[in-house]
Amino acid sequence: MDDELQESAEGAKRVLIVDRDRMAALISKMLIENYAADVATDGLKAVKKLRTLLPSLILADVDVPGNGLRLAELVGMNPKFRGIPVILTSAKPSPDIVIKARNAGASSYLAKPFGPRDLRGRIDQALSPRALQEISGESAPGDSDADAAQQPETEDGARTDIIGRVRQIEGLPPFPATHAEIMKLAQSEDATSADIADKIQLDPDLLAMVFKLVNSSYYGFRKQIDSLKLAVTLLGLEEVANLVMTAQVFQKLGNYESKTGLDIQALWKHLVGAAFVARAIAKKLKTEEESAFLSGMLHDLGKVVLDCFFSDYYAAVLDMVKAEDIAIVSAEQETLGISHTDVGGQLAVEWKFADKYQNAILHHHKPERATRFGRLVGLVHLADALCRQLGYGSGGDDLTPDIDEAVLERFALGDKGLQILTEAAQQDLEDADSFLSALAS
């Protein structure tokens, strides 16, 4: 962190205290001789303060509205706040809280009540050069930076250390290894339908979901398909791998009740619709046909993560969307300082999605910033826009985005070309309902 940004005008390092009024005032008095204090009484107010304030350290109570644990996780996902240590406090100490604090990315946990000496000592420890180096992930002299070179880019083009930022979100399930194995088999010249069938059969729930999708009216088989080997033979390895990924993502993140007012069913309809539209226009444009469906399906996963696990914060995003009639991605940036593309990109890294899917998720709103897989990113950008124009599902706002001029130029699309793609998309969406019904049943 830039020392000039971390220090106040008087030269004292700043601490953002996130606690209820009386306790925040008491802590401020404890720090008055050594630190400049700013106060927020809940997690959302803390996030808003961070838009203009870059403190040296955040001291947050676990039990404040918005949950201090969630605040620590949210701070940890934002590249702008990389290197700011978070100390979590609670009046109800327990081994479970200590573990959760560590998992949330907190530097340490401090049980209440505590005295001025304990508090200052803990802050001094968290702000020591060694501790700051560890939390910022800076490489020690001589360390290899090969891992960093493999990171996908953020929307501003900067390389960031995003591995692990979403790993410890409380409640976020790990992604099963089954998909990676199946995708590897699907791309192998030596793989057989029996090889993939053997992998899918290891997971009975996944097996049942795949059969539901295979037998949906979308594929239109006259007879019930009850053999995986036959399904792979009829659909192909790549298509079955797509179904496996779709089923696994929905199983992991599709079954929850939104607390924010987001129409989660409409969002999943949008995701399925974008997948179908992406594949339809990929066929018309004769590009990225194998990757289009999954890229469309995955592009807005960051919204699901934010809505499911950060509901107190995401509710404020949706309130802004309604009050100001702005795009949800703009409301996310304004309210949280990050967007669903950032979170989705980090999730894609954690779940070990292929680089092409990571980039499609990360850059679909600003395709000109993609330095790799530009055609696939542009394709998803098109699919998202066309799906919204056709009113299939909802991405969280009622706006229809303009299609990026660079994407139109990349695919040499004029008004006539767009009309052809729109008609193809509309025709494919007629088949999407049966697929969506099978997915949600």
DSSP states of 213-240 as a string? HHTSTTT--SS----HHHHHHHH-HHHH
Query: Would 32 be classed as within a structural domain?
Result: yes
- Per-residue pLDDT tens digits for 238-294: 888 888 889 889 988 988 999 999 999 999 999 999 999 999 999 999 999 989 999
Question: Does a structural domain hold residue 426?
Answer: yes
Give the domain-ending residue among 113, 136, 159: 136
Give the residue with greater pLDDT, 388 vs 150.
Answer: 388
Reply yes or no on whether the pLDDT at 6 is more than 80. no
pTM of the model: 0.87
Domain count across the chain: 2
> Which tokens belong to 130?
């060694």
What is the per-residue pLDDT across 139-191, written as a single tens digit (0 to 9) for each? Answer: 433 333 333 334 444 444 333 444 456 766 888 888 777 777 877 777 777 87
Among 57-61, 116-120, 176-180, 244-248, the minimum mean pLDDT is found in 176-180
What is the domain-level CATH number for residue 393? 1.10.3210.10
Secondary structure element (H or E) that encloses residue 86, with its range: strand 86-90
At 279-338, the pLDDT tens digits run 999 999 999 998 999 999 999 999 999 999 999 999 999 999 999 999 999 999 999 999
Are 258 and 405 in a shared domain? yes
Question: Higher model confidence: residue 188 or residue 32?
Answer: 32
- Both 269 and 407 in one domain: the answer is yes
Asked if residue 23 belongs to a domain, the reply is yes
pLDDT of residue 12 exceeding 60, the answer is yes
Whether 56 maps to a domain, the answer reads: yes
Instruction: Tell me, yes or no, whether 132 and 257 share the same domain.
Output: no
Is-contact 260 315, C-beta < 8 A?
yes
Domain boundary among 88, 108, 136: 136
What range defines the domain where residue 112 resides?
A: 3-136
Q: Indicate the DSSP class of residue 61.
A: E
Could you give the C-alpha distances from 100 to 57, 92, 129, in angstroms and in order?
19, 13, 25
CATH of the domain at 59: 3.40.50.2300
Please report the DSSP string for 130-198 in residue order.
HHHHHHHTPPPTT---HHHHTSPB-TTS-B---TTTTTT-TTPPPPPHHHHHHHHHHT-TT--HHHHHH
